[in-house]
Structure 1
Amino acid sequence: MPGTAGPGRRRELMSFVRRSSRLDKRLQKAWDAYASEYLLELPEYEHRELSIAPDFRFDAEFVKATWGDDHPLIVEIGTGQGENIVAAAQADPGTNFLALEVYKPGVAHALLKAGKYGLRNLRVCEVNAPDLMKAASDGLFAQVWTFFPDPWPKTKHHKRRIVQPALAAEVHRALQKGGVWRIATDIEDYALHVHEVMDGRDDFENTGDVTVSLPTEHVSKGTADMAARLPHADFTESGRFDGRVLTNFEKKGIEAGRVIHDFTYRAV
């Protein structure tokens, strides 16, 4: 079960709940055709689903053996169906990309797209992202991307949000000096959460140049309509990241009237 601990280990709160891993015929065909080339399988920790064996190191030697070169590596936490990272890999063949996703149909979609375009610089991994960050060597990644993570809108579930102080510390350690963590959300309350986690840190610099007004108190799933009446303050965010394609998910958010919040945090 997600979050299950092994002997002598505390139960870890996970940022996801496993959904059905069943693939339809088209996605199963894609998995069978492309997994051997694009699916990155890492040694598992048997006591916790989608976790990595604690003695495994995701280091420069492993990266070079996997991708065949030492090009800069960008990691996307929560790739969805792979629309964004596949487009990025197509546009930038001189950079390597790693897509992390916990839902098997999303992984299969990413494999299908990678195979369709014959990409050589992309791998997809079905794994719990914080485990991958912990396994990574210091200064290994050029960038980390987290676009439209699960908002966990209920107040009691906010602690499950993927952007947390512990993950921020691991991302900072895994980033090259000057590397950036790019985050985007279309949920106003999640934007406030990101600011609370990230803006007070001395290991990241918020490099944004856009001023936005946000409520200074959190709302929950049933009280979101109260946000406009709460006290507001100005926060610094970034303009839209040019390297992020307009996915169907983001398009639906815009059509629903939600504002997109972009963040760029540079490792210092």
Structure 2
Amino acid sequence: MIAMSTAKHVQDEASHRPPPKESGGRERRARRSVVSFTRRSGKLDPRLGRAWNEYAGSYLLSLHPDTDALGVDPGVVVDRAFLERVFGRKAPLTVEIGSGQGENIVAAAAGHPDRDYLALEVYEPGLAHTMLLAGKHGLPNLRLARTNAPEFVAAASPGLLDEVWTFFPDPWPKMRHHKRRLVQPALAADLAKAMAPGGLWRIATDIDDYALHVHEVLDRDPAWRNVGGRRVSLPTGHVGKGTADRAAGMPHAEFVESERFEGRVLTNFERKGLAAGRTIHDLAYRSVARP
């Protein structure tokens, strides 16, 4: 079970109430960029509501006094001292951006007690389900934050993160919505600053066009080095919803990707992608130390 001293501190930082239902209104705190998610209802079913009430005090961090805000309050300093207060120790940190139902990060935290894990997610049902899974194990090395990940990354002190996961982010398939995709030059730049030297960013997607998008953002970024060893062929032009069939007739080029990350749980979401005949793209990039 979680050590009492650590749990008490997290309770002090956590929101003890289930988050309010979303009204569709704008955030009170101005966002620094186009967001990669849409606001959805925060209503929890009875099972998830019970999990939230039971475990939020142990696992959920509060990064803003306004429980409906998804940013990081300017008064919150996300640095090494912050992490040591939160986890009660100093250990390597893995952050999952968009933790979904929590299968991956809970399995990793249970299997690697020597590391700390932080799940960043905006949707309350996913956070509640992650709490439910984590509570069954009494994991002392896992915390959750309901936050817009790019704002958290921008607030993180240099060298704070050791590894980052972004598994199956929203593909935003319409061409006019590609700007909303999570992986963007701004996030890549902020992550490169927040990563420890040699830190690893693991990305997975079952959308060919998103894989191409990742390559365009990160392969040309001097702050990141593609560490894959597997060659794949991708169309060199973008397609959108309703035009995906055009990709086969486009010019193709070889790109370097990685073998499947063994530490990633095979979720129902990934199984559905495989059943639909989609290719799973694993990409891994290591941060390059600046001179």
- With normalisation by structure 1, the TM-score equals 0.95
Determine the structure 2 residue equivalent to 1:16. 37
Deviation string 1:152-194 (CA, Å, 9 cap, x unpaired) is 0000000000000000011111110001111000000000000
CA contact (8 A) 1:4 1:11 kept: no
Matched, 1:101 2:121: yes
Letter in 2 for 1:219: V
Determine the structure 2 residue equivalent to 1:54. 74
Q: How far off its partner does 1:57 sit?
A: 1.6
Determine the structure 2 residue equivalent to 1:214. 234
SS in 1 for 2:259: coil
Letter in 1 for 2:93: L
Q: How far off its partner does 1:54 sit?
A: 2.7
Runs of at least 5 residues in structure 1 that lack an aligned partner in the other structure: none
CA contact (8 A) 2:31 2:71 kept: no
CA RMSD of superposed structures (Å):
1.6
When residues 108 and 5 of structure 1 are mapped into structure 2, their CA distance, relative to the original with a 3 A threshold, is: closer
Matched, 1:140 2:157: no
SS in 2 for 1:80: coil
Determine the structure 1 residue equivalent to 2:59. 38
Of 153, 156, 159, the residue aligned with 2:179 is 159
Q: Which residues of 2 match residues 1-268 of structure 1 at below 5 A?
A: 4=27, 12-44=33-65, 49-268=69-288
SS in 2 for 1:149: coil
Deviation string 1:88-126 (CA, Å, 9 cap, x unpaired) is 001100000000101110010001001011111000111
Q: C-alpha distance in 1, partners of 2:197/2:32? A: 33
Runs of at least 5 residues in structure 2 that lack an aligned partner in the other structure: 1-23
SS in 1 for 2:274: helix
Equivalences, count = 265
SS in 2 for 1:132: helix
Q: How far off its partner does 1:245 sit?
A: 1.1
Q: C-alpha distance in 2, partners of 1:249/1:168? A: 25
Give the 4+ runs in structure 1 shifted more than 3 A.
1-6, 9-12
Q: How far off its partner does 1:12 sit?
A: 3.5
Letter in 1 for 2:64: P
Q: How far off its partner does 1:49 sit?
A: 3.5
Q: C-alpha distance in 2, partners of 1:80/1:265? A: 22
Letter in 2 for 1:96: D
Q: C-alpha distance in 2, partners of 1:147/1:265? A: 14
When residues 138 and 11 of structure 1 are mapped into structure 2, their CA distance, relative to the original with a 3 A threshold, is: closer
Q: How far off its partner does 1:43 sit?
A: 2.1
CA contact (8 A) 1:215 1:233 kept: yes
SS in 2 for 1:171: helix
Q: How far off its partner does 1:135 sit?
A: 1.1
CA contact (8 A) 2:228 2:257 kept: yes
Q: How far off its partner does 1:45 sit?
A: 6.9
CA contact (8 A) 1:2 1:49 kept: no
Letter in 1 for 2:54: A
When residues 140 and 2 of structure 1 are mapped into structure 2, their CA distance, relative to the original with a 3 A threshold, is: farther
Decide which moves more: 36-45 or 152-161.
Answer: 36-45
Q: How far off its partner does 1:55 sit?
A: 3.8
SS in 2 for 1:99: strand
Q: How far off its partner does 1:248 sit?
A: 1.1
SS in 2 for 1:28: helix
SS in 1 for 2:105: helix
